[in-house]
Amino acid sequence: MPYSQFKTLESVVATFDLTVEDTVHLFSQTEPIKPSDRLKDIINEGLDLAIATSTEKARSELLISPILMEVRRSFHKQISLFSGNNFDVEPERGLNGFCDFIVSASATQSVITAPVLTVVEAKENDLRSGLGQCIAEMVGAQIFNQRKGLVHAIYGTVTTGTTWRFLKLDQQKVHIDLTEYFINQLDLILGILALPFQGLGEFHS
C-alpha cells in the first residue's frame, strides 16, 4: 500500500501507532528567511495564473517548485529537490511509492540523502486531505534518517501552493500546527522549510 493510500489522519495514526497533538503557532520561534527579489517576481507573475487555472499541476509548477528551489539556493545548492520520485522505505508496511516532493540533504540529484523533508500537494485545495499521506511519508523519512544515524525530528508540509500547513514528527508523536501560512508570508514559509537543514554544515563536515 503506497503513501497515497493513507487518505485520512485516522488511518495513518492507527497503522503506525502514533499520537497527535494540535498546536497553534508551533513554529512561532522560527527564524524567517527573506525571500529574494527573484522569488518575489516569480510568485507575483505566477500567482494569478495559478489561481485562475486552479489545477494542481499549475500550482505545483508556478508556486510550490519555485519556493522549494529558493530553499535550495539559500543553502548554496547543498540540498537537493526531488519531484515525483519513488521513496521506498518499508513496502511491507505501506511506506513506499511516489512522493510529490522530497527535499534532501545532498548536493547531488543522483541519490536521496538524509535528512529529508516531505512535501505533499493538497488535493482539491483541501489541506486536511493531505495529512494522512504526509504523515506516512514522514514516518518513512524517520526510518530512512534513523538508518543513517540521524534521530532528529522529522518535518513535513501539506500545501496548495497558496496555503501551507506544517507538521513535526518526534518519535511517535505528530505535532500538527493549526496555524496556516499564506503565500504573502514567504519569509516564514522559507524559514520553516529550512529547519531540517540548519545543521547542514555539521552534517557534511
Asked whether residue 205 is assigned to any structural domain, the reply reads no
Closest CA to 15 of 88, 95, 86, 89: 95
**CATH number for the domain that contains residue 109:** 3.90.1570
Asked whether residue 203 is assigned to any structural domain, the reply reads no
Confidence of residue 204 (pLDDT cuts 50, 70, 90): very low
Tens of pLDDT, residue by residue over 114-138, are: 888 999 999 888 999 999 999 999 9
Residue 73: predicted pLDDT: 92
Alpha-carbon span 132 to 129, nearest angstrom: 7
Taking CA atoms, 37 is separated from 7, 43, 164, in Å, by 37, 10, 21
Cα angle 31-118-12, degrees, rounded to a multiple of 5: 120
Tens of pLDDT, residue by residue over 58-105, are: 999 999 999 999 999 999 888 999 999 999 999 999 999 999 999 998
Measure the N-to-C terminal CA separation of the chain; round to a whole number of Å.
37
Residue 124: predicted pLDDT: 84
Please tell me whether residue 128 adopts helix, strand or coil conformation: helix
For 12, list phi and psi in degrees, rounded to 5: -75, -35
- Report percent pLDDT > 70 for the chain: 96
Asked whether residue 204 is assigned to any structural domain, the reply reads no
Tens of pLDDT, residue by residue over 8-39, are: 999 999 999 999 999 999 999 999 999 999 99
Tens of pLDDT, residue by residue over 145-189, are: 899 888 789 999 999 999 999 999 999 999 999 999 999 999 999
Residue 131: predicted pLDDT: 96
Domain that holds residue 47: 3-197
Closest CA to 72 of 36, 41, 23, 120: 36
The count of domains in the chain is 1
